[in-house]
């Protein structure tokens, strides 16, 4: 094979490799459709009595003052975008802003993120509190050492890629990612000392929770494109062969 034909064949191979392995990357930021606090009033039963869905902030832990005595859990629900054919989630990051930390007893446990693979409700509901489909991700959302305030919240970014990918695999055409924040191992003690975390809700203009997705779409040609490419390569090789024959 002469130099001209070699160059033509290498160029065609490079084009083919580009078509097969190139991909398109895009990012999407999703805000929740639900942020609420569900709570179990004292005496604690393990089931929620009601919920607060104002959307300004949500909370998890023990609220104990002269008029309110309860355990709280925060829920954040995201309605996910539809993925195109060949599009996959590369990363999913949950951004949550810690608003306040109240450690009245001095022994506040971490707030832990839970995820449900089967909870697809996108409306407010009290039973988010006790829904047993939520299981721990093992990710800490907040801890007692944080210094946070409404004017200087603490941003916590959590990698939830595996759970979001599972949602896409299990939910079909309407994909929902549902997370709950709770303080494990915490009981209620009536001593007028609160031990809880608050987080900004979906109504916050600056600090609303966000789920940031990065996806890729493989640019794999249709079979017809491969056929055209192969025909073009064949023509180029044939032209090179005819030139060699003519020179002889």
> So what's the pLDDT on residue 19?
47
Query: What pLDDT shows up at residue 171?
Result: 84
- Average pLDDT for 130-139: 98
pLDDT value, residue 174:
87
Q: pTM of the prediction?
A: 0.81
Please provide the average confidence, as pLDDT, over all residues in the chain.
86
Q: Are 99 and 204 in contact (CB under 8 A)?
A: no
Note the pLDDT of residue 58.
Answer: 98
| Between 199 and 248, residue with greater pLDDT | 199
pLDDT at 237 over 60: no
DSSP letter at 44 equals P
Model pLDDT for residues 77-114, shown as the tens digit of each residue: 999 999 999 999 999 999 999 999 999 999 999 999 99
């Amino acid at each position: 094979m002469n130099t001209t034909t070699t160059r033509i064949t290498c160029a065609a191979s490079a084009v083919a490799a580009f078509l097969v392995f190139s991909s398109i990357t895009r990012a999407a930021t999703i805000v929740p459709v639900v942020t609420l606090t569900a709570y179990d009033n004292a005496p604690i039963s393990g089931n929620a009595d009601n919920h607060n869905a104002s959307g300004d902030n949500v909370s998890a832990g023990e609220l104990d003052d002269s008029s309110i005595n309860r355990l709280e859990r925060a829920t954040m629900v995201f309605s996910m975008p539809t993925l195109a054919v060949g599009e996959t989630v590369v990363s999913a990051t949950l951004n949550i802003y810690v608003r306040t930390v109240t450690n009245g007893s001095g022994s506040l446990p971490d707030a832990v993120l839970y995820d449900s693979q089967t909870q697809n409700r996108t409306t407010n509901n009290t039973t988010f509190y006790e829904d047993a489909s939520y299981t721990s991700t093992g990710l800490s959302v907040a801890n007692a050492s944080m210094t946070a305030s409404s004017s200087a919240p603490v941003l916590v970014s959590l990698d939830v890629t595996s759970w979001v990918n599972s949602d896409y695999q299990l939910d079909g055409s309407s994909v929902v990612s549902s997370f709950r924040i709770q303080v494990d191992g915490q009981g209620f003690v009536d001593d007028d000392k609160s031990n809880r975390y608050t987080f900004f809700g979906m109504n916050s203009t600056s600090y609303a929770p966000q789920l940031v997705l990065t996806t890729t779409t493989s640019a794999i040609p249709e079979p017809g494109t491969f056929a055209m490419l192969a025909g073009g390569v064949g023509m180029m090789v044939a032209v090179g062969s005819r030139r060699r024959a003519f020179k002889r």
